[in-house]
Amino acid sequence: MIKIGIIGAGSIVENSHIPVLKSIAKVQITWISDINELVLRKVAAVNKIRYIKPDLIHSGIKEVDIVLLAIPIGVRDKYINIIADEGKAIYIEKPFARNQLEHEKICSMFPFHKIACGFQRRTYVNISLIRNIIQSKIFGDLLQVNLVECSYNLKSGGSNSFFSNSELSGGGILIESAIHSLDQLVYSIEPNEIIVHKSDGILANGQEYHLSSFADMITDYGNVRINLAISRLYNQPSGITFEFEHATLHMINKPSSNIYLVDKNSRNKTAIKIDYSQPFNICVDTSDKAFFVFWKLFFDAYLTKTINLTSAVTSALTTIWVEKIYRDIYK
């Protein structure tokens, strides 16, 4: 039996992590904790989980094998230190770290198989297919990627929400939302290095609400230009376009989205059929399945003492990319 402790009782825990963990055999959620006692009591009661108050977390960590840390990045340090000191494993919700130094420091505190970063969208079937297309060179080398995530939304959750506090959240739309898409590109393209040439943003109170950036991913087969347009200030059709030597592909960044082959002249789109006979861990077509498969993969890494796509060390370049963009727009 793998025993889990949970620090943080927010919506991602309540709606995704808890249902998934309760569905996996030989896994037990031993306790949950949160500074908001009303929320904590509600989530604990609905899911029939024992809750503990924050001042008892240290003793609670001694009872479990793995701790899910799903609280704002600005208040995690003391818990990471305790979990590491107790020799337990940790699953950290994104964003994992604000910069390369922090990322490497946290990773150094745990064996590689005992630390996961919650980039579960790596498991989406369309991302797996894109990764395979890039590796197979069926359309030639990848030359350029255009990522657009633009949707008008200025809701912050109110003054008491950590989204409104850059010290807690670590930044704005990039680190709290778009970082998933950046990680999917890092996972798919497998660059050795990312060179950020220029980034601009519209900022308020230490957070970015709009940014544009272009960079080069340095790969074994050459440079891939990456263009980003990310905004909460206006609406624009969102998606990712992959330009290869001999074809252009487009997808909406959702787990069940088709990948379309785009005719360069007519701009007509033809869906590429996804073969669901592939192994389940790369055929995730819903968000719930993504959480399920990611947890299963982390348990596998934990039990076999191996590294896989859940391992935090594999997402270091994502953190470095975000840091370089922030260095540009906050200079």
Residue type, 314: T
Angle between helices 316-329 and 179-189 (to 10 degrees): 130
Residue type, 232: R
Instruction: Report the pLDDT averaged over residues 142-150.
Output: 97
Instruction: Report the pLDDT averaged over residues 11-35.
Output: 97
Residue 204: what pLDDT?
Answer: 84
Instruction: Report the pLDDT averaged over residues 120-140.
Output: 93
Residue 72: what pLDDT?
Answer: 94
CB 254 within 8 A of CB 184: no
Q: Which long-range contacts (CB under 8 A, 24 or more apart) does 157-163 make?
A: 162/72, 162/74
Task: Identify each DSSP E strand in 222-322 by its residue range.
Answer: 222-231, 236-244, 248-251, 259-262, 269-272
pLDDT tier at 159, thresholds 50, 70, 90: very low
Short-list 306, 326, 33, 321, CA closest to 170: 326
Q: Is the pLDDT of residue 328 over 80?
A: yes
Q: Is the pLDDT of residue 267 over 50?
A: yes
CB 237 within 8 A of CB 148: yes
pLDDT tens-digit series, residues 96-122: 999 999 999 999 999 999 999 999 999
pLDDT tier at 157, thresholds 50, 70, 90: very low
Angle between helices 100-108 and 316-329 (to 10 degrees): 150
Residue 184: what pLDDT?
Answer: 97
CB 169 within 8 A of CB 74: yes
Query: Which CATH number is 123-283+313-329's, of 3.30.360.10, 3.40.630.10, 3.30.70.3270, 2.40.30.30?
Result: 3.30.360.10
Residue 100: what pLDDT?
Answer: 97
Give the residue with greater pLDDT, 68 vs 283.
Answer: 68
Residue keyed to tokens 């008491």? 160
Distances (CA, A) of 325 to 60, 84, 271: 38, 30, 33
Distances (CA, A) of 301 to 68, 308, 311: 15, 6, 8
* Residue 149 DSSP symbol: E
Q: How far apart are the first and last CA of the chain?
A: 49
Give the 3-state secondary structure of residue 229.
Answer: strand
- From the number of C-beta atoms within 10 Å of its C-beta (0-12, 13-18, 19+), residue 177 rates as middle
How much is the mean pLDDT over the chain? Answer: 92
Q: Average the pLDDT over each of 112-121, 219-228, 231-240, 291-300 and give the range with the smallest value.
A: 231-240
Q: Is the pLDDT of residue 325 over 50?
A: yes
Residue 266: what pLDDT?
Answer: 76
Q: Is the pLDDT of residue 158 over 60?
A: no
Residue 162: what pLDDT?
Answer: 45
Topology of domain 2-120, CATH: Rossmann fold (3.40.50)
Supply the DSSP string of 2-31, one letter for each residue. Answer: EEEEEE--SHHIIIIIHHHHHHSTTEEEEE
Spans of all domains in the chain: 2-120, 123-283+313-329
- From the number of C-beta atoms within 10 Å of its C-beta (0-12, 13-18, 19+), residue 58 rates as middle
Q: Is the pLDDT of residue 227 over 90?
A: yes
Token pair in block for residue 318: 């994502």
- With vertex at residue 112, the alpha carbon angle to CA 110 and CA 114, rounded to the nearest 5 degrees, is 60
Share of the chain above pLDDT 90, in %: 79
pLDDT tens-digit series, residues 163-190: 455 555 567 899 988 999 999 999 999 9
Q: How far is CA 298 from the centre of its chain?
A: 14
Give the residue with greater pLDDT, 280 vs 233.
Answer: 233
Instruction: Report the pLDDT averaged over residues 245-271.
Output: 89
Q: Is the pLDDT of residue 90 over 80?
A: yes
Q: Is the pLDDT of residue 253 over 70?
A: yes
